[in-house]
Chains A and B, each alone.
Chain A
Amino acid sequence: DGGITQSPKYLFRKEGQNVTLSCEQNLNHDAMYWYRQDPGQGLRLIYYSQIVNDFQKGDIAEGYSVSREKKESFPLTVTSAQKNPTAFYLCASSIGQGRSGANVLTFGAGSRLTVL
């Protein structure tokens, strides 16, 4: 089955530690996204990537970093600079990005990060 796999599903981190969330897709999608979900705040865009080796900051990129070395993979690192990292993180992909084409997002099941 084609889809997006996020790992780990649950992650606990001590303050001051960096953590990396994995996102892998086998849909052959060009665009990938990371969203953060907090109760009552909906989804906020952290980073997105339209093609390999290129990515752009979203609305809340501070304290996060990403890479896009392969089409299938878009890992997110939550750094110690992120002041309030406890949240549910969602990875998504789409065939294209913007108004150019088939822009329906396919989401992974999410990773829940808790800072102790």
Chain B
Amino acid sequence: AQSVAQPEDQVNVAEGNPLTVKCTYSVSGNPYLFWYVQYPNRGLQFLLKYITGDNLVKGSYGFEAEFNKSQTSFHLKKPSALVSDSALYFCAGLLRNTPLVFGKGTRLSVIA
């Protein structure tokens, strides 16, 4: 089945340290992949997307993600975490000509 998975429910990181939020996908063909962020009781906000081209995609708020076809991964990264980055992060895939499929989300906590 076509799917997007986020293997970690929770990620904790100290402020100033690099952060990684993991995402893997299962699909035949080339996926379109996205990261969204959600703050409490709010809708989701778009961070970045991979369609084609460079495997390293830069997005909003200093986030970036690396598309790795051999590992079927699209991990979200940031070199230096801020307390304000604490939120719920969703990976999503446009796996065929259907609406976005979302992972279950990863809660990021950045500790001062």
Contact = CB atoms under 8 A, between A and B. Distances in A.
Interface stretch (B12-20, B75-83, B98-106): B98-106
17 contacts: A40-B104, A41-B104, A42-B90, A42-B104, A42-B105, A88-B41, A90-B44, A98-B97, A99-B94, A100-B97, A103-B32, A103-B94, A103-B100, A107-B43, A107-B44, A109-B41, A109-B43
Contacts, number: 61
Given A41-B104, A42-B103, A43-B90, A99 B97 contact: yes
Interface of A: 4, 6, 33, 35, 40-45, 48, 58, 88, 90, 92, 97-100, 103-110, 112
A97 B97 CA distance: 8
B45 interface: yes
Q: Interface size bucket, B side?
A: 20 to 34
Contacts of B45: 107
A43 B97 CA distance: 18
Given A41-B104, A98-B94, A33 B43 contact: no
A105 to B, nearest CB: 6
Contacts of A40: 9, 104-105
